Amino acid sequence: MMWRLAVLLAMTLGMTAASPAAAQFFIKSPDYSGEPVRGDEPGMFVELPGATEAELRASMVWSLRAALNVSALGCDFEPMLMTIPNYNAVLLDHKAELAKSFDTLGKYFARKNKTAKAATGAFDKYQTRIYSGFTTVYAQYNFCQTAANVGRDAIFTPRGELGTLAANRLRELRNSLVARGEQAFGARIYLRTIPILRMDPECWKKDRFDFKKCPQAY
């Protein structure tokens, strides 16, 4: 009898060790996965008129960085998500691609504006809109868990391929801004959600989202 208990215990410990610890808010989490993006999907990205393929890729990389930064700042209530150390690791491991993306976007705004001051201002507004687009309250658990998974995968992404990861996972990150509850049972927990901020230029005024002009954001 005792040897059977020992075997069962060993098997249990073995299965536990095979699965790395991770924060889990639901028995069955919502599935937010989606199709890859190009970087110019209406409502998902800040519009970059006339952007080249390289500039769109840079925009996706910078959007991914912004999402992980927001998660590092707002998801540290659950240390097991490791959003802060993962974000710092991504900055270090992918610093070359991040720097290249920043420079590429800087050149885009320099090309599209007449003065250096105007280009800097336009770039600042662009970044403000990106960060604002990943803020959430009611869907915090959903976003934080998704961002933690994406951040972990970013660490294991080969250098120079962060843009590919961004293209494959940014729609998932955007989808996670809609609050959804437990998926394991027939009864669903429906939560009141806040708007997912669209990136269309007409929806923004002086770096602030105009809810009156874009009521469909609710």
Band (215; pLDDT cuts 50, 70, 90): low
Q: What pLDDT does 11 receive?
A: 42
Give 6 or 201, the one with higher predicted confidence. 201
Query: Tens of pLDDT along 150-176?
Result: 999 999 999 999 999 999 999 999 998
| Long-range CB contacts for residues 50-59, cutoff 8 Å, separation at least 24 | 50/112, 51/108, 54/104, 55/104, 55/105, 55/108, 57/101, 57/163, 57/166, 57/167, 58/100, 58/101, 58/102, 58/104, 58/105, 58/108, 58/163, 59/101, 59/105
Q: What is the pTM of this model?
A: 0.73
Query: Tens of pLDDT along 51-92?
Result: 999 999 999 999 999 999 999 998 888 888 899 999 999 999
What is the domain partition of the chain in residue ranges?
23-217
Mean pLDDT across the chain: 80
Q: What pLDDT does 17 receive?
A: 36
Q: What pLDDT does 176 receive?
A: 87
